[in-house]
Amino acid sequence: MAAAAPPAPSKRRAWLLAIRPPTLPAAVAPVLAGTGIAAVDGDFEVGRFFLALIGAIFIQIVVNFANDLSDFRRGADTPDRLGPPRAVAQGWLSQREMTVGISLATAAALIVGIVLILIVGWPILIIGGASLIAAVTYTGGPLPYGYRGLGDIICFLFFGFVAVMGAGYVQIEELTWDLAAASVPVGCLVTAILVVNNLRDLDTDRASDKRTLAVLIGERNTRIEYVALTIGAFVSIAIFASVELLPYFCYLAWIGLPPGMWLAREIANGRSGAALNPMLKRTAQLHLLVGAMIGLGGVLGTL
């Protein structure tokens, strides 16, 4: 006799699971890094920091909600999926409810963005608007870039470069080479999170029409990509610190080197399927640690 299916969570719990709290460090890390590096060139504005942080978190929630809905509609979330269950696919939330959730999260991000525009100026409109468009079109819209092998480069661009530069701009109202340098390790590690996700889902994505970069380049090259991104994050810190684009104190981020090398070894040695779920969580933690240490290094560089 088949085992009974586990009971559905309450609506509140279903929304919490749909938010995917373990993914939120992807939004927090670039704000910490960009704010800390901006402190080298200007005063720290705590109100602006929290507005940037809240806005970034809402954009990440938009990504998660839109991904939940769009993957269900496109048939990518099947019973064979190895990652955490998705709210719409499980029937915990209806498509209509998730559409409302996307609208509310987008509205919240827009409200924060409008406040920042009034404080900082119109460039925030471009940064925030482009980020929201990227969030919604990852797996949604007529041409979802996540289904066409572009997810990795867009992730690096918007959750690395744009996010760090935007957080720094909120503080000092200018874009600097220091911020661009800080965005490289942050972008490498946030992209590594996506790489683990796509490596885990490789078989189910192949069975659908979801052509992630992992599907296009294959399992072996995806593992190489993860190792290259992880090593590249720490090498880039050393390079930029050596030419004084990053404060020397940013070497504090190398506290993440041992766990980073352990993760790279585990991925390279063939962890696959559900065994990648803990690797996904630890990569997100590594990303947050490195982003925080880069930010701290920036603050210490002012002393």
**pLDDT tens track for 213-268:** 999 999 999 999 999 999 999 999 999 999 999 999 999 999 999 999 999 999 99
**Residue 5 is assigned to a structural domain of this protein:** no
Cα angle, residue 136 at apex, residues 132 and 142 outer, rounded to 5°: 135
Return the residue matching tokens 């409109």. 125
**Residue 273 is assigned to a structural domain of this protein:** yes
**Residue 258 is assigned to a structural domain of this protein:** yes
**Residue 184 is assigned to a structural domain of this protein:** yes
Cα–Cα distance, 46 to 56 (Å, whole number): 15
What pLDDT digit, counting tens, does each position of 194-218 carry? Answer: 999 999 888 888 877 778 899 999 9
Q: Taking residues 61-86, what's their average pLDDT?
A: 75
Query: How high is the pLDDT of residue 2?
Result: 39
**Residue 7 is assigned to a structural domain of this protein:** no
Query: How high is the pLDDT of residue 107?
Result: 94
- Could you tell me the residue range of the domain that residue 210 belongs to? 14-300
**Residue 147 is assigned to a structural domain of this protein:** yes
Task: Identify whether the C-beta of residue 161 lies closer than 8 Å to the C-beta of residue 43.
Answer: no
Reduce the DSSP state of residue 209 to 3 states and report it. coil
**Residue 196 is assigned to a structural domain of this protein:** yes
Reduce the DSSP state of residue 211 to 3 states and report it. strand
- The count of domains in the chain is 1
Phi, psi angle pair for 211, to nearest 5°: -95, 75
Instruction: Give the pLDDT band of residue 22 (cuts 50, 70, 90).
Output: confident
Q: Considering the chain, what is the average pLDDT of its residues?
A: 89
**Residue 4 is assigned to a structural domain of this protein:** no
